[in-house]
Every structure is written in structure tokens, then in C-alpha cells.
Chains A and B, each alone.
Chain A
Amino acid sequence: MFMSNFKLCFVFAAMAAFAGAASAQDIGRPITEADVAPWDISVAPDGDTLPAGSGDVQTGAELYAAQCAVCHGETGAEGPADQLVGGVGTLASDAPLKTVGSFWPYATTTFDYVRRAMPYFAPGSLSDDDAYAITAYVLHLNGVVGEGATLDANSLQAITMPNAQGFIDMYASDRE
């Protein structure tokens, strides 16, 4: 604690010296979390930052056919881009196939990634409702949720993925 305070003082002093008239308080503009919201798109497994809204498998199927199938295939298994569906039970075999269904440990990651980065040429274009619907559909194709499922913040966060127990945290084990 002493060290970090000391270091902070040093930074402030050094900054004042470097920036001339400007005081340390002038470096960095204060912002509220509400104003960060448009950029705060990361969703951790606790689901805390999942947005309001919802989407169902049927809507997701239509959106997927229109916006995703061209690269990931009709059923998510044909490519040419990364295979999203299939491979459950193959991880310990001679031909492991890693997909959302067989490999990804958290459903929140699917929502996070699809909303942030897909479709590839128009990332960020999906509404929150659309992102829930497409996530529901991709998870349905993988047998994780039923045909009639609707996902929202609560139901998405509550999903246990097939490979949830499949990861070894090497950073934590290194520090034990």
C-alpha cells in the first residue's frame, strides 16, 4: 500500500513536471459507467453485463440463414468459416472437433463474440434482441437448448455448456 501510494505520488509529480502547467488531474477525462456503455460489450460468465432484451430460436433461425449461413454453412457445420456445430464427444478422440457445442465452456462467450464481431463484414450491427436470438439458434443447433427456447440475460447466464468442465486454468494452477 505504501509503495503504491508512493508510486502514485511519483507519477503525479512526474506528470506535472512533464506536462508543464497541466496538473495530474487534467490527464484523463472523468467519465461515468453509463457513458462507457456503448463500448462495454464484454460479457463474462457471471452475465453481469448482459443487456435487456430477448430472442427465440425461430427468429434466430431466420437471422442465421440470412446473415451467417453463407460463411458458416446451412446448419453451422459446412463452413467455409469456422464450424459452429457438432463435434460433441470428439475431444479425446483421434480427430477432435472444436465447436461452440463441443468445446466452448460458457454460453456468455457466444453472445459476447457474435454481438461484437459477427457477421464478419458488419460487426456490431446486430441488435441485442437479434444477438440473443442467434445465440439461441446456434445453441439449439448444438442441442444445448430446445426448439422453443427464448433467451434473455437470466436464461442465457443459467446455461451449462456440455464442455463446461473441460478446461484447466493454468494460470491459477501455476500460482498454487
Chain B
Amino acid sequence: MTKRNEPRDYAAGGGLLNRRVLLGAGMAFSAASATGAAAARLEIPEWSQYPGLPMSEYGQPSPHEGHVKRRVLGLYPEGIGDGAGVSFTPLEELEGTVTPNGLFFERHHSGIPEIDPERHELVVHGMVKQPLVFTVGELLSLPKVSRLAFLECAGNSLFNSLAEPQQRSAGEIHGLIGAAEWTGVLLSDVLDLAGVDPSASWVLAEGADAAKQSRSIPLSKVMGGDAMIALYQNGERLRPEQGYPMRLVLPGWQGSMQTKWLRRVKVTDGPTHTKDETSKYSLLQKDGKAQQFTFEMGVKSVITRPSPGVAPTRPGLYQVSGLAWSGAGRVSRVEVSADGGASWADAMLDGPALPKMLTRFRLPWNWDGAPSVLMSRAVDETGAVQPSRAEWYEPWAPGQLYHQNAIQAWALSVNGEVSNVYV
């Protein structure tokens, strides 16, 4: 007979278990049950002794979850660029794959406009048969589609492009990403109403914010069947910080193109070369040349459990869990290492991995209490493999931080503290 605390089904070094091993099946979760200490007699708490709160019109998280918040980071001193900055999704506090609307990351270049939906309009013009203006009500009346998709800022994981590893939570490093079920109108349907000139090849999308944030998008993506003018996020109308009353969703492509507060789509015969596709969101190589129009987000994964602030409190069984995604399609495989990359084991993927959507991976791990380095490496259906940090950095100039999709390594110390390390 196997002893309770000695699972034999190891899949890789450092205590990673075969993914078919069920936690708890013949193994102890915690020292308490292993030692068999007797529990105290059950009490009846006060909330079971009288009727609770009444119904409410809009539900809020439990006050005990009040610490689960976006971490806000302004990018300029006060009075210089108020409203230009980011807030990070607290990835380490969340489970599953859909991001709650109130915790979905933000990136604004000039604050959140307070839009009156009765007065907001979308104009489609340029190389079209008939320029058209749409009210929000008109867009709401068009046939809709829903799809699940992640949305990642091109600057996500920027801290890991710095020379020294930053000690921040998983969300503060990798949380410029969220995933949602988006519902709206296909952008191609709206453009078809205006009649796109066959010689057109790009569009310019522009927001109604103070910066009139603008990006060029190839017509192939616009008409390709997954580009959407989203009106709803996870079933409710978009939040103001996500582009209320309407935004673009371009599954798999960098966030800054997915124009919030969309007010204008101009059909053109080439890219406009806006500030945010030349000065910013272009990738400077070591040789001084910059890559422009790198739209698709690369294959990537991150372990959210354990991660800084979220760690096993004692040796024994623990479920490693994390998120993987690829702008090119489905995640086909995620491997996990507990020995700094010396050996790898396949993680289980939760549910069917949907294309251009977050995929949750899990793997049981029997931590022996020794210092360990945990890593995850994703592969997508095109065969693309998530690079090591050194591989990722190879082509780039110092300070180049966009499209950082390198493998994250977390070091776990004997006392269960997790830190960010470069391996």
C-alpha cells in the first residue's frame, strides 16, 4: 500500500505529479488531516440565526473581498498627464477564465470620457459608397453576435523587460489582460451598409476621448469575420472605462487597436501612421530599425498560483494553476516545470481551449518544502512556443517592452515566499 503522503505518480522533477492524479485521492491535503487532530464541536454562526439583508438592485462583491482590486498606475506626475495610465487586473486573485467587468484592466491615453449615449454617434466614411452616421440605438437594433476573447495590452508584462526582476504580484506584472464574452455587431456588417470601395485596404478607427485615440487596421481583419463593434461585456453594457457605449474588439490583436468610445471608422487605401503606431506600439530592434504593425499577440502563459503573495503555506499537495493564451488561435499545450526548467510536465487544460481566449491550466504538485522555481510554457495550435526571456529579448533594443511574452519564473523559498526571478 502507498503511504498517504507519498504519491508515486511523478510526472517531472521537483514534485510535479501526473496530471491524472486527483488531489486528495489517497493523499492528504494538509498536515491537519494527516495528523488526524480532532475538530472542535460545530457552532451555529449569527448569520444563520436571523434573516439577512434584503434584495439589491446591483450586486456587489462581499465586503470580505474588498482587497480584490485593480492596481492603478498613473504614468505621469500629477497635473501633467492625468488620466493617462493603466490599471492592472489582479490575476492572482481570480479563477477561471472570464474577467469580472469591474476588475478588467484599463489603459487610457487621456482619461475616460463621460459619454451621453443619446448624443454619441458613429460615422463610417472615406472609401465607401455612402457615408453613414449611426446612433447607439441603431447599432443596438442590428443583428448581434457574441464571442469569448481575451484582450491584452501590447505593453503587458512590461516590467519583465527591465534589467532587474521587479517584485510585484502576478497581476501587477501580467495583468494588462482580461477576457470577456463580448456582444455586438460585426464591423463588416456596418461597413457593408456603407458599401466599401473594392480598392480600399485599411481603415482608421478613432475614439471620442480627449486624445481621439486613433489606430489603423487592415481591412482583412475588419472584414475577416471576428472584428466586432462591442456594445456588451459579459452580458451587461460596456463599462465607461471599457469604451461605453461602443468599442472595437479585434480578437487576438493588441489592445490599443481595439478602439474604445468608437466614434469614427474611415475606410482608406493605406495606414494613417498615427502616433500610436509609430512613436508608440512599434518595436525597436537592436539595429535601430523598428518593427511596425505587429498586431497579433504572441503565445503566452503565466502561473497565477503560486505567485507572489499566493503560495502554499506548508509542504504537501498543491494545485498549480495559471492562464495561457495566443493571439494566433487555440492553446494546444501548457507545460509546467518545478525545477527551473530542467524537466517539464504537461498541465491539464480546463475545458475546450477556445481560440484567442484565455485557457486555464492546472497541475498537481507535491511540494517537498525545498526552494523551487516554477515556470510555465505554452504552445499554440500553429506550433508557436512561448520563448524564454533571453530568447524573447534577443532582437530588441534596450527599453523595448511591447509584446513581452517570455516565460515567467517564480522562485518559492523554504518559508513559502514567492519572488520574480529571471532564469
Contacts and interface: CB of A to CB of B under 8 A. Distances in A.
A30 B130 contact: yes
B415 interface: no
A15 B188 CA distance: 14
Nearest to A172: B293
Nearest to A20: B141
Contacts of B288: 91-93, 96, 166
Interface residues of B: mostly helix, strand, loop or mixed?
Answer: loop
Interface residues of A: mostly helix, strand, loop or mixed?
Answer: loop
Interface magnitude class on chain A: 35 or more
Nearest to B186: A11
B284 A11 contact: no
Interface residues of B, number: 59
A170 B133 CA distance: 33
Contact of A8 (B131, B134, B192, B212): B192
Contacts of A33: 125, 131
Contacts of B84: 120
Nearest to B294: A170
B4 interface: no
B396 to A, nearest CB: 10
B135 to A, nearest CB: 8
Given A42-B272, A42-B274, A123 B125 contact: no
Interface in A41-96: 41-46, 71, 80-81, 91-96
Given A42-B266, A44-B273, A105 B278 contact: yes
Given A11-B142, A44-B271, A109-B274, 5 more contacts: A7-B188, A30-B132, A44-B268, A124-B212, A168-B290
28 contacts: A11-B143, A14-B143, A18-B143, A27-B138, A28-B190, A29-B134, A31-B131, A36-B125, A40-B125, A41-B212, A42-B214, A42-B274, A91-B284, A96-B288, A98-B284, A100-B279, A104-B278, A105-B273, A106-B273, A109-B275, A116-B211, A116-B212, A167-B291, A167-B292, A168-B292, A170-B294, A171-B292, A172-B293
